[in-house]
Structure 1
């Protein structure tokens, strides 16, 4: 079954593989390559594979073989997978020695983009795998978040929200990868002002079975407590407090709104370094070029 987001991504895949239906890629060009000579795509963003699903695929391959050839490119020693790593892994599990493959010529940028686009169409891709895929495109292909969003048909906030997941502590990433935390819960945790408390709040979320809304209320209370004004400071209205919390959730950092007696005011958005500032500016749709 295709991923619900695969329609826009599929056009990218089709553009890259537009010549796959040409005569030179007919079944007569399929070769049986030794599994021992094949290596995974070095730019594969997927870090986790469902072992149960692989075992089911391996059982099918053991009985009926591989119907759809994998696609590889020749490397200095052997071959590198362009698409079909699950079939490759399952074939090894099934005890196969060879696998049907089509050999193509692709440079490193194309290899990377194909790996990312193919994986983004899979339903079982974890949020962290998806985040890593976007990060790979940005760092390896030197793209901006805006360029990635345009290329994949996603909004810039969508890309930015996934990239923020990569800043979570390792323990929280593990909870997210094992589906003990949802994407919504993980995003909400990032709005916690005291980042040192994220681990503890994540554990409480799992232990108490907190919903996203319950977690939001808890974090809003914690953030409000830490940002409690001094006695000399005028108490902020519920509207300003709510606005601060909404903006903090949007930008993933502390936000302070100050208002004078004449109704004027200012908004302060914290950032940790230049990279964090660039992330915030992109969320604000500020073109730095």
Structure 2
């Protein structure tokens, strides 16, 4: 489904922002927009398009404990499940949904929205970005989904998520990093700033390990990458031309005659050099005698 109406996209972005609101007061916004109702947890299914893939165990445990004590205060966003009548699909709030299951809650407050697949993905991304719940790689993968599935341009994304176009471009570049660095990002051992600094490095994996092992800051990482890039590269020596058979034969003849290793370096202009290599003083004495000289 191509996007051709720029003004429509801009309206969509504003509508989504109004729907989910700021992370600090989205409960109030969505409650005014639609009202809430209670839905049984077993009627709600996870959204396979949710850009968030990693849920930290310690955070889930803390939220589970809070829900056991206070219940679910903030509703989650759902839509009618397009494949299973009478059930719902999560749009935003999967961490609360997971924690409620752990806490043994039977139903949960929801706000039901009538949205398309595209809008559901947009809302999930925006909500997580506003809360800073996505790690940099999850954010990049969410952007890539919108681009590949719904023909978004980077400018469209910047408008919808209220970020700069350069932020979108830099975030998408993280997907080009090697898998070991993506692992560091998923585990929170590297930030997006670290990863962006490594993109242009000739040895990003080696530098990433050094950064993690030494706990380097983003500024120190940028300096390290610059330092490595400025190191002079040793000039490769041109391969020596293969000696012709006549030169090799002459080296062997002289070696047999003189009793030492002989190297002939012949140049294209006809000049050259003759090297005699001895391994001991006795061999040097022998060579001098053969040449007719004396010590």
Match of 1:153 among 162, 187, 191: 162
Quote the Cα distance in structure 2 between the aligned partners of 1:208 and 1:20: 45
Quote the Cα distance in structure 2 between the aligned partners of 1:127 and 1:176: 7
Higher mean C-alpha deviation, range 33-42 or range 206-215: 206-215
Computing the radius of gyration over CA atoms, which structure comes out larger, 1 or 2?
A: 2
Quote the Cα distance in structure 1 between the aligned partners of 2:235 and 2:93: 57
Please list, as runs of the form range in 1=range in 2, the aligned pairs for 1:20-31 lying within 5 A after superposition. Answer: 20=30, 25-27=34-36, 30=37
1:190/1:21 Cα in 2 relative to 1: closer, same or farther (>3 Å)? same
Q: How many residues align?
A: 217
Q: CA deviation at 1:123?
A: 2.8
Secondary structure at the counterpart of residue 129 of structure 1: helix
Counterpart of 1:216? 222
Mind listing any 5+ residue stretches in structure 2 that lack a counterpart? 1-11, 22-28, 238-295
TM-score in terms of structure 2 length? 0.64
Counterpart of 1:102? 111
TM-score in terms of structure 1 length? 0.65
Q: CA deviation at 1:178?
A: 2.1
Quote the Cα distance in structure 1 between the aligned partners of 2:171 and 2:92: 24
Quote the Cα distance in structure 1 between the aligned partners of 2:218 and 2:32: 49
Counterpart of 1:52? 58
Quote the Cα distance in structure 1 between the aligned partners of 2:150 and 2:18: 18
Deviation string, structure 1 residues 82-129 (Cα, Å, up to 9, x no partner): 222121111011122322323332221111111111111113321112
Deviation string, structure 1 residues 109-153 (Cα, Å, up to 9, x no partner): 111111111111113321112222222222222111122123333
Counterpart of 1:266? none
Mind listing any 5+ residue stretches in structure 1 that lack a counterpart? 1-8, 232-289
Counterpart of 1:271? none
* RMSD, matched Cα: 2.9
Match of 2:130 among 115, 118, 121: 121
